Structure 1
Amino acid sequence: MRIGELAARAGTTTRTLRYYEARGLLPARRTDNNHRTYDECDLRLLRQIRTLQDFGFGLEETRPFVECLRAGHPQGDTCPASLAVYRRKLDELDALLEQLSGVRETVARQLARAELAAEAATPGGPEPECELGGHTW
């Protein structure tokens, strides 16, 4: 298939496909008249890349999965390098979840403090100070 058809079937653009080709993620096969040509395996590679990117993997993080698919592994994620990327991504996600949990706790404390201050405020009295994040405005 030609580049336009592959782009349409993969739900992407020809520009993206050329970029992937330049990065070495998509093979650059050419016909005698110098047109790019692709097959179903290339579509599968693109779907793998897109799925991983949808899950938050960077383009370079998809490389081991692409190489695993090219090596003949049907899922593209059973090779040691792919497994290592999964492990790193899980560590990264765990760290983000921990950070978000801390932020959530801070916001919950600030809300509780603000609600108490709002209940205690008297009409016409001085404006309460904002202490979000340790800063007073």
Structure 2
Amino acid sequence: MLIGELSRRTGVHAHQLRYYEAQGLLEPGRGANGYREYTDDALLTVTQIRRLLEAGLSTQEIGFMLPCATGTTPDFEPCPELMVTLRARLHGLDEHIDTLTHSRRALNDYIDATERRVSRQYQGCDASAPE
């Protein structure tokens, strides 16, 4: 199938498919006319790539893991290197979440402190006084 058909069937734009190819994630053949030609296996590969991207993995990590992927979920054939990569990515996400949680807490503290100051500032005003 040509890139337009693969794009239509997967819902992935052609420029993204070309990017996946440039990253070594997809390997189309070439027809006599020079056009990219994809096998039906490319449908599964694109689905796997999209799911792994949704999990926050980089295309470099996906390139390392894709040969071990099976099915649309994808599932993986277990191997120590794969687990190291997955656990490292999870650890990085946990650290990022901790940083965001700390930032959120600090922003809430600033908002609370500022709102208390505003409240004290207007507390002495009589809202029912005529203008």
Partner Cα distance (2:48, 2:108) in 1:
39
- Structure 2: state its 5+ residue gaps: 125-131
Judging by fraction of residues, say which structure has more strand. Answer: 2
Aligned residue runs from structure 1 range 55-134, under 5 A: 55-69=55-69, 73-74=70-71, 75-80=74-79, 81-122=81-122
Q: CA deviation at 1:76?
A: 4.8
Partner Cα distance (1:55, 1:94) in 2:
13
TM-score scaled by length of structure 1: 0.73
- Structure 1: state its 5+ residue gaps: 125-137
1:40-96 Cα offsets, whole Å, 9 max, x none, are: 221111111112222322221211232223xxx443533434322221211111001
TM-score scaled by length of structure 2: 0.76
Partner Cα distance (2:75, 2:42) in 1:
13
4+ residue runs of structure 1 moved beyond 4 angstroms? none
- Whose RCO is larger (CA < 8 A, sep 6+)? 2
**SS of residue in 1 equivalent to 2:93:** helix
Q: Percent identity?
A: 30
